Amino acid sequence: MQFSKQLSGKFVFVLFGATGDLALNKLLPALYNAVRFNPSLAQGHFICLGRSITDEDKYFATVKSYIEKVSQTDFDADIWQKFRSLFSFLKLDAQTAADFDILKRRIEALQPDVKIYYLSTSPKIFPDIVHHLTRTSLNEGNTRIVLEKPLGSNLSAAQKINKIVQNAFPEDQIYRIDHYLGKESVQNLMALRFGNRFLEPLWNRIHIRSVQITIAEDIGISSRGAFYEDIGALRDMMQNHLLQLLCFIAMEPPYALTPDAIRDEKLKILRSIPLYTHDEALKNTIFGQYAEGMINGQAVPAYLKEAEVKENSKTETYIAAKFLVSNWRWAGVPFYLRTGKRLPKKLAEIVISFRSVPHNIFMPPLNAEAPNKLVINLQPHDDMRLYMAAKPPGATSQLQQVSLNLNFTKQLNQRRPSAYERLLCDIIRGDLSLFVRQDELEEAWKIMTPLLELKEKNPDILEAYRAGSWGPESSHVLLEKDRAKWHEEQ
């Protein structure tokens, strides 16, 4: 994370899939803020590509409405004018060679020092795009290619895409996005661990009993039914976001804040996770799909009733799994990971449970699985709570659980760029630290392979859960087997 890396030269930023959900909801609003807060971005030109819109003005009117919606009261007409002056639109079909010839002429006329291609499309068309970029020599020179997740649907598909992309671009020009790495709170995990003295001596199997990582969402699949049907929670969230968070919690200190030093340490962790046999996967994984229920007092339909979802769909909207990290620091410590749609609230949280004291002279707090716990909230609030046992006043030796709360947003009272804004600026500056390397990505797919196979061979292991609940019944049993509980149940 070379925070001070400066932008050098003129760049062109080409956005494939500019009419898609991700571009309109996340990327373009993030670019609007990037332009607003980084004057050097005015050295660039942005070309939005899409095959469905022909009228440039209409397209940018749509973009503006999304930016207004995302920025709410913060929309500024002058900034919009500045933003708009840096953008143009081009109709392009990834399968049409002639469209790339037009794109090439447009790019050459701009005479950029750096060419950036952001592929916010289905990974199915990555090979076509890369083929045409190569055919037109647009991959040559100082270029960067950005790939959205999920990259492939399994290990062999990911390897195939990686090979195609790597034939056209060197690895240090490939930016594989996992937007969780752009979140301030996630980067703060490293600062907490490696910028402080007091946590690290406790950060191991001797003191830590278990780690829970939860990414919960109250939303369903909105208008993404067709996309989600082919993907499911494992590919959408666990293969990438959850495993990356696990790496940040478990990794050794990198020797420096350089992209490869960080990525080498993450890779070691991924390689330390033993691959499950079929039976182990069955014992340690729970797949769920939401049934109808209530969220925030509103009735919501079952996944099977969502638009573009197949009648008997077996796509999981929830997954929980237990993993081990077999190395000296973590041997025997369970890492419980879970994510789901239509859970009671939006939340990303890491819970570190510490072991009990070796010899209790007090009565430990009642109903507390572990008297000492560190709860790191990544969203919606960026805060941390340290649970401890304290003696309440009076003649008692029965301890009570109390907590020390630290609110990062309040104490570090500065503007927090969104994850995408941060990552887009890093791409433009050429900083790879917060992007996933090929070997990391493939290792993550290897860990997921037994789970994917289990689900494919036994689609009926999918359990229904009520929308608004914390997931299928068995997700609780998974922890009970270890005499543990999910944090919200304690």
Q: Could you give the angle at the alpha carbon of 29 between the alpha carbons of 23 and 32, nearest 5°?
A: 120
Q: Smallest gap, in angstroms, from Cβ of residue 379 to ligand BG6? A: 6
Q: Smallest gap, in angstroms, from Cβ of residue 240 to ligand BG6? A: 7
* 227, HSE (Cβ side, Cα atoms, 13 Å): 16
Cα–Cα nearest to 386, from 399, 397, 370: 370
Cα–Cα nearest to 444, from 222, 160, 195, 247: 247
d(CA 63, CA 61): 5
Closest to ligand BG6 by CB, 179 or 437? 179
Strand partners, 390: 400
Strand partners, 119: 16, 147
- 359 as an active site residue: the answer is no
Closest to ligand BG6 by CB, 236 or 369? 236
Strand partners, 375: 351, 385
Strand partners, 464: 289
Closest to ligand BG6 by CB, 30 or 107? 30
Q: Smallest gap, in angstroms, from Cβ of residue 420 to ligand BG6? A: 9
Closest to ligand BG6 by CB, 107 or 181? 181
CB count in 10 Å sphere of residue 460: 8
Q: Smallest gap, in angstroms, from Cβ of residue 165 to ligand BG6? A: 20
Q: Smallest gap, in angstroms, from Cβ of residue 416 to ligand BG6? A: 13
Closest to ligand BG6 by CB, 236 or 265? 236
Q: Smallest gap, in angstroms, from Cβ of residue 217 to ligand BG6? A: 6
* 108, HSE (Cβ side, Cα atoms, 13 Å): 11
CB count in 10 Å sphere of residue 329: 16
Question: What residues from 343 to 382 belong to the interface with ligand BG6 (CB under 6 A)?
Answer: 348
- Give the tokens for residue 368: 């507390």
Residue with the shortest CB distance to ligand BG6:
236
Q: How many residues bind ligand BG6 (CB under 6 A)?
A: 3
Q: Where are the alpha helices (DSSP H) in 356-437?
A: 408-411, 419-429
Place of tokens 């009419």: 19
Question: What residues from 106 to 125 belong to the interface with ligand BG6 (CB under 6 A)?
Answer: none
Question: What residues from 210 to 249 belong to the interface with ligand BG6 (CB under 6 A)?
Answer: 217, 236
Closest to ligand BG6 by CB, 21 or 128? 21
Q: Could you give the angle at the alpha carbon of 193 between the alpha carbons of 190 and 197, nearest 5°?
A: 140
User: Active-site residue among 45, 132, 179, 241?
Assistant: 241
d(CA 93, CA 57): 19
DSSP structure string for 313-339: ----SEEEEEE---STTTTT--EEEEE
Closest to ligand BG6 by CB, 265 or 382? 382
Q: Smallest gap, in angstroms, from Cβ of residue 460 to ligand BG6? A: 24
DSSP structure class, residue 399? -
d(CA 128, CA 126): 6
- Contact letters for ligand BG6, residues 247-286 (x by CB under 6 A): ----------------------------------------
Instruction: Indicate which residues carry an active-site annotation.
Output: 241
Catalog residues that contact ligand BG6 under the rule CB under 6 A.
217, 236, 348
